[in-house]
Chain A
Amino acid sequence: MLEIPCPWCGPRNETEFVCAGEADRKRPANPEAETEEAWADYLFNTTNPKGVVREWWWHVSGCTRWFQIDRDTVTHEITPVKDPSK
Chain B
Amino acid sequence: MKRFSIFSIARNALTGHRHWEKMWRSPDPKREYDVVIIGGGGHGLGAAYFLAKEHGITNVAVLEKGWLGGGNTGRNTMTVRSNFLREDSVPFHEMSLDLYHQLSRDLNYNLMVSQRGMITFIQSSAANRIALQMANTMHIYGAEYRMLTLDEVKQKIPIFDPSPNMRLPVRGGVYQPRASMVRHDAVAWGFARAADARGVDIIQNCEVTGIQQEKGAVTGVETTRGLIKAKKVGMAVAGHGSVVASMVGQRLPITTQPLQAWVSEPVKPVLNEIVVIRSYYGTYLMQSDKGEIVVGQGADPYPSYAQRGTFPIIEDATTSMLEVFPSFGRLKLLRHWAGMLDIPYDGSPIISKTNTCGFYIDVAGSGGFKTTPAAANTFAHLIAKDTPHPLAEKLGLERFSSGRLIQEGGVSANR
* A interface residue numbers (CB < 8 A to B): 1-2, 13-15, 18-19, 21, 36-37, 39-41, 43-50, 53, 55, 73-76
Contact = CB atoms under 8 A, between A and B. Distances in A.
Nearest to A48: B242
A37 to B, nearest CB: 5
Nearest to B304: A73
B128 interface: no
B343 to A, nearest CB: 10
B306 A75 contact: yes
Interface of B: 240-243, 251-256, 301-306, 310-312, 345, 400-403
B251 A47 contact: yes
Contact of B401 (A14, A37, A47): A37
B242 A46 contact: yes
Q: Which 4 A-B pairs have the closest CB atoms?
A: A44-B253, A19-B302, A48-B242, A40-B401
A48 B311 contact: no
Contacts of A14: 301-302, 310, 312
Q: Which applies to chain A's interface (DSSP): helix, strand, loop or mixed?
A: mixed
Nearest to A38: B401
B256 A36 contact: no
30 contacts: A1-B311, A1-B312, A13-B312, A14-B301, A18-B301, A19-B302, A36-B401, A39-B401, A40-B400, A44-B253, A45-B400, A46-B242, A46-B251, A46-B253, A47-B242, A47-B251, A48-B241, A48-B256, A49-B243, A50-B240, A50-B305, A53-B303, A55-B302, A73-B256, A73-B303, A73-B305, A73-B306, A74-B304, A74-B305, A76-B306
Given A46-B252, A74-B304, 4 more contacts: A1-B312, A2-B310, A46-B255, A50-B305
Contacts of B345: 44
B298 to A, nearest CB: 14
Nearest to A4: B302
A11 to B, nearest CB: 16
A45 B256 contact: no
Given A47-B242, A50-B243, A1 B310 contact: yes
A5 to B, nearest CB: 15
